[in-house]
Amino acid sequence: MKDLLQFQLSPEEAVNDTAIRQMIKSKLSWTRNTDFYYKWVRRSIDARKPNIRINCSFEVVDSELEFTQLEPFEERNVVSAPPVHIVGSGPAGLFAALRCIEKGLKPIILERGKDVRTRRRDLAKLNRDMELNTESNYCFGEGGAGTYSDGKLYTRSKKRGDIKRALELFVHFGADPDILVDAHPHIGTNKLPQIIVAMREKIISCGGEVHFNAKLVDFEINKNAISRLILEDGREMECQHVILATGHSARDIFYLLNDKGLKLEAKGFALGVRIEHSQELIDQIQYHGRLNDEYLPPASYSLVTQANDHGVYSFCMCPGGIVAPCATGEGEVVTNGWSPSKRNNPYSNSGIVVSVLPEDLGDPNDPFVCLNFQKAVEQKCWEAAGKTQRVPAQRLMDFINNRVSKDLPQTSYKPGLVSVNLNEVLPSLISDSLRKGFMDFGRKMKGFLTNEAVLHAPESRTSSPVLIPRNEKFMHPELVGLYPCGEGAGYAGGIISAAIDGMKIVDEISEELGSEV
């Protein structure tokens, strides 16, 4: 027997083995004396009405051996295999490296930042002393921008097979198998680093290479093909296949490609603020007043509207989270959010951003029109808050009513806040749409509009403001062997889509090399 059953249970029943078994028996009209085994396949919360339900989907079998198994990670010894150079060890780079091993190719990862453990010390200094290390921060270093994040693993990508494979690999390297089941899976900042270390150790034990403090600063071209990589410390490496997975914050890489005369395009992105409410308020709103419920996780929300012909939406919402300083360069401030696996901080934060297109900002043919806008806002916010890693901030209702907040409550943002009128700091294109957007969100979520909520500015690294073009072989159309990849190149927006893009590119390289054994 192998059945797939779907039904709803209350939150209490959904954690109760007896209640689950009873429901399965009733659904199967179970009369046999033998026992059965069940496994969660899908779990989501339906909190649209006060009677909150859990949508459950189970696989039911006679013997545990019948359960659908995870596809294993296929280890190969790649010491002497054809090399693939991978610049950047974010999800795109790491999953590309893992796929290289499965395909019998030798990944050589070059990462400008440090290993996860050493990187953590730089984050502590940034939060505590406002000391920014431009090579080791929330965006740069082993694991990329996703390492010290909420680790939300959902994506708008529709390719179920690819998503499943990426999630399975996370589980293979130590993530809780619940991520394969939950409709909105997440891992948490406290757990991601170990998983990334396990991936790195596997890559090395199979014969791959991982180099930290290995910043790509230049490359050579020979007969229209990339032929040599040059690192900041003077090291040089011959290369044939280079996966460029440097993320949305590696502006120097965009400038390098442009200086080499390679085509780039401006890409629309989104910019706004990071709002923080108390988690209790969000639970109260989303769970219809049901507070401190041990059977429900900290509530999240997802909001979207249109204002002044621009999309305004919540981005990277972190229940039980912390607002983090995510700048990568001097003279700028940037915010984002993370949360631990239990999401047990008293705060809830989310980006609330306005989508912008190149034509909104200037000459759409200028590849840097969006990047320059992003940079200018980050610099202006830095100046407005006193030229440190403190950020300009304002209470929500004060922002809507266009008045400076007399005081600011303590928020989770460790470096601190400076009270300003964000309407005067953010471009009106952004602040006007944000104000209208917030009013609509207040109608959709009663209680969302409160002066206890605080806006932190800016939320500006939502996706890449530049697109690195690629052809049907995933190569830059003007440079043989260069494979723009992941979020920085404009082909992903989040951990899972970046991971999928990394794997997809290796499949293409492998096919080209005919190296599959």
Ligand X SMILES: Cc1cc2nc3c(=O)[nH]c(=O)nc-3n(C[C@H](O)[C@H](O)[C@H](O)COP(=O)(O)OP(=O)(O)OC[C@H]3O[C@@H](n4cnc5c(N)ncnc54)[C@H](O)[C@@H]3O)c2cc1C
Residues at the contact surface with ligand X, assessed by CB under 6 A: 87-93, 110-113, 138-141, 144-146, 149-152, 215-216, 245-247, 250, 253, 316, 324, 326, 336, 338, 486-488, 492, 494-495, 498
Q: Which of helix, strand or coil describes residue 371?
A: helix
Least Cα distance to 59 among 2, 19, 9 occurs for: 2
Kindly tell me which of 241 and 435 has the beta carbon lying closer to ligand X. Answer: 241
* CA dihedral for 502, 503, 506, 511, sign (positive or negative): negative
- What's the min distance (Å) between Cβ of 470 and ligand X? 14
Q: Tell me: cis bond preceding 458? Omega within 30 of 0 counts.
A: yes
Two structure tokens written together for 251: 């502006």
- What's the min distance (Å) between Cβ of 305 and ligand X? 22
Q: Which of helix, strand or coil describes residue 320?
A: coil
Kindly tell me which of 156 and 406 has the beta carbon lying closer to ligand X. Answer: 156
- What's the min distance (Å) between Cβ of 23 and ligand X? 33
Kindly tell me which of 122 and 398 has the beta carbon lying closer to ligand X. Answer: 122
Cα separation, 178 vs 200, whole angstroms? 23
- What's the min distance (Å) between Cβ of 487 and ligand X? 4
**Which residue type occupies 107?**
P
- What's the min distance (Å) between Cβ of 165 and ligand X? 16
Cα separation, 52 vs 48, whole angstroms? 7
Kindly tell me which of 28 and 230 has the beta carbon lying closer to ligand X. Answer: 230
Kindly tell me which of 53 and 461 has the beta carbon lying closer to ligand X. Answer: 461
Least Cα distance to 88 among 235, 250, 202, 205 occurs for: 250
> Any bridge partners for residue 292, and if so which?
none
With beta carbons less than 8 A apart as the criterion, state whether 469 and 265 touch. Answer: yes
Least Cα distance to 466 among 329, 218, 250, 264 occurs for: 264
Least Cα distance to 337 among 329, 347, 398, 187 occurs for: 347
- What's the min distance (Å) between Cβ of 419 and ligand X? 24
Kindly tell me which of 336 and 423 has the beta carbon lying closer to ligand X. Answer: 336
Kindly tell me which of 245 and 371 has the beta carbon lying closer to ligand X. Answer: 245
Kindly tell me which of 11 and 321 has the beta carbon lying closer to ligand X. Answer: 321
With beta carbons less than 8 A apart as the criterion, state whether 392 and 422 touch. Answer: yes
- What's the min distance (Å) between Cβ of 320 and ligand X? 13
- What's the min distance (Å) between Cβ of 359 and ligand X? 25
Kindly tell me which of 342 and 403 has the beta carbon lying closer to ligand X. Answer: 342
Kindly tell me which of 321 and 392 has the beta carbon lying closer to ligand X. Answer: 321
Taking residue 497's Cβ as centre, other Cβ atoms within 10 Å add up to 23
Supply the DSSP symbol for 461: -
Residue 36 buriedness (CB in 10 A; 0-12 / 13-18 / 19+): middle
- What's the min distance (Å) between Cβ of 108 and ligand X? 12
Cα separation, 170 vs 154, whole angstroms? 13
With beta carbons less than 8 A apart as the criterion, state whether 285 and 446 touch. Answer: yes
- What's the min distance (Å) between Cβ of 336 and ligand X? 4
- What's the min distance (Å) between Cβ of 192 and ligand X? 9
Kindly tell me which of 198 and 307 has the beta carbon lying closer to ligand X. Answer: 198
- Sequence-distant (6+) residues with CB within 8 A of 198 are 173, 174
Least Cα distance to 17 among 44, 47, 56, 53 occurs for: 56
Beta strand 304-307 with 335-338: parallel, antiparallel or unpaired? unpaired
Supply the DSSP symbol for 372: H
